[in-house]
Amino acid sequence: MNKNAIILAAGKSSRFAPFTYEKPKGLFRVKGEILVERQIEQLLQAGISDIYVVVGYMKEKFFYLEQKYGVKLIVNNKFGNKGNLYSLYTAKEHLGNTYICCADHYFINNPFIDNNIDNVSYRACTYYSGKFSEFSVICSDADVITRMEVGGTDSLAMVGPAYMNEKFSRVFCDLMQKEIMDFRVSSMFWEEFYAKHITELTFYKREFANNEILEFETIDDLRSFDSEFLMNVDSEIITNICNTLMCNPNDVTNIDVINAGLTNVSFSFSVNNIKYVYRHPGGTAGNLIDRRTELFAQMKAKETGIDKSVIHMELSGWKISYYVEGANECDFEKSDKQLITAMEYLHTLHNIKPDNTVKIFDNIVEGKKLMKIASATKGHLEKEFEGIINKVDKLYSYIKEDAKELRYELVLCHNDTYTPNYLVDRYNNVYLIDWEYAGLNYAANDLGCILCRYDWSDEQIERYMRYYFGRELNDRERRFYYAFIPISGFYWFCWGLYKGSVGDDDSFFFLPSYRNIVRFVDKAIESYEM
């Protein structure tokens, strides 16, 4: 009887960040072996040579497997918004007498050497004590799985591989074909789909000892099994940490993802009981960042005390900082002191002499670039927002002429000054962080960035202006600085269009930015044409 195997390896395994920023979990080295390679070799030992690997996330890193082992790769390009059922669907033509496996599992003994004389379909199971999050099962006296639920307590759980015989595969494929276009179905784990049709599909249980099949749920789980994991993980991130902090990999503990930010991903970790943050460049906006300019601005922020947390940054974009204990976003509406400090930081920044690596950040030019990119998936946005574009172009021409008369020069600006980038610690120290958008601009833009992303009242806006100037503005100053609310708003509106066009969160300030263009652009133009 001919048997084959399908190994599911398309997922991102985000719980294993930061290491999955660099490679898929199935390519981790555990106890000296690559997870997916160990599985392939066990299949080959069992006489299963017809092997298919479904890949998606960082799929190119699996390409070598075809040459090394003679397996066939199947690409699932929809892994980001589909469940692993969809991975099986992409490989449906190969379902027959088939083992179904996940690339990131570790089998102590070879589970593919079995005595399945009757060629029955089965699901590997093991008994878990206490609560667990895997699929729990109830079986009949004949060992047929009759019920399945998410999670359980002191019961059998589905872990490890499954085996589908030809009859099971035929019914499973027919059901998939009928239902896969339903979003709720395509987003399922394949086990959930099986549970949906449990009366039509017969799985027997095949019980394994609790320690025979390992499904590592966290980095700590993996490290408890392989204490040398970090020593052998082949991670640039770990190398960067160790070189910067002069430690060894096993000193790195308490790894915890903070967030997947707008342009980066970051995680906290500890070394010798000191907590740090590692910033790893990524996200769809990463290609919009001038890292050389960011590096200059970030280091100047460190020197001047504007961002006291940063320890080291490289031109490639990675950065290590101290973890700011008890940090919260500044609340400028409640704290005059915080706002005064924030404005002092801007004055300090605007007085820093830039070097020749610092690029110009032109709100209109950069905004139009983003709108053009977004138009590829969102339609002809330049035509749809032609009225707004014409108005901001007109206003910007007035601004640049006014700047010459006022002798306003381009200065080093943060260009992303909004509340989430102002932090205050438990000692009331204020930090201005995240310098990706730094560049030469008019100082007014750093006020415009704060004011264009929220629905402020006129009184609130005046308060920010007074605190920056330390006095009441004259008419000329007010005209110029107010004009940067719609000018800055235009960039962040276009930024939201771009983020939405690539399937990312367009952020909370997308709509307020648009509102502030509409609210201020005509008034600003009129102030120049009076």
Mean pLDDT of 3-27: 92
For the full predicted model, state whether its pTM sits above 0.85.
no
Q: Is residue 304 part of a domain?
A: no
Q: Is residue 264 part of a domain?
A: no
pLDDT band at 81 (very low <50, low <70, confident <90, very high): confident
Minimum mean pLDDT range among 42-46, 260-264, 295-299: 260-264
CATH number at residue 513: 3.90.1200.10
pLDDT band at 281 (very low <50, low <70, confident <90, very high): confident
Mean pLDDT of 95-118: 95
More confident residue, 258 or 452: 452
Query: What domain count does the chain have?
Result: 2
CATH number at residue 56: 3.90.550.10
Same domain, 204 and 71: yes
Tokens representing 202 are 């017969």
Q: Is residue 262 part of a domain?
A: no
Domain boundary at 156, 185, 219, which? 219
**Residue 283: its pLDDT value, please?**
59
Residue 263 clears pLDDT 60, i.e. is over it: no
Domain boundary at 199, 219, 239, which? 219
Q: What are the CA-CA distances from residue 117 to residues 43, 114, 120, 167 (Å)?
A: 18, 9, 8, 16
Minimum mean pLDDT range among 269-273, 304-308, 323-327: 323-327
Q: What are the CA-CA distances from residue 232 to residues 28, 214, 346 (Å)?
A: 9, 19, 45
**Residue 210: its pLDDT value, please?**
86
SS (H, E, C) 230-299: CCCCCCHHHHHHHHHHCCCHHHEEEEEEEEECCCEEEEEEEECCEEEEEEEECCCCHHHCCHHHHHHHHH
Q: Is residue 176 part of a domain?
A: yes
Domain boundary at 171, 204, 219, which? 219
Same domain, 202 and 344: no
Residue-wise pLDDT for 415-451, tens only, equals: 999 999 999 999 999 999 999 999 999 999 999 999 9
3-state helix, strand, coil in the chain (%, to 5): 45, 25, 35
pLDDT band at 183 (very low <50, low <70, confident <90, very high): confident
The dihedral sign for the CA sequence 288, 483, 383, 453: positive
Residue 262 clears pLDDT 60, i.e. is over it: no
Q: Is residue 30 part of a domain?
A: yes
Q: Is residue 303 part of a domain?
A: no
**Residue 502: its pLDDT value, please?**
84
Q: What are the CA-CA distances from residue 391 to residues 211, 388, 450, 518 (Å)?
A: 68, 5, 21, 10
Q: Is residue 277 part of a domain?
A: no
Q: Is residue 506 part of a domain?
A: yes
Residue 353 clears pLDDT 60, i.e. is over it: yes
Q: What are the CA-CA distances from residue 445 to residues 20, 173, 333, 486, 492 (Å)?
A: 37, 58, 20, 10, 12
382, 389 Cβ separation under 8 angstroms: yes
Task: Give Dmax over CA atoms of the chain in angstroms.
Answer: 92
Same domain, 474 and 337: yes
Residue 505 clears pLDDT 90, i.e. is over it: no
Residue-wise pLDDT for 282-299, tens only, equals: 655 556 789 999 999 999
Residue 217 clears pLDDT 70, i.e. is over it: yes
Residue 260 clears pLDDT 70, i.e. is over it: no
Same domain, 208 and 348: no
- Domain region containing 521: 332-529
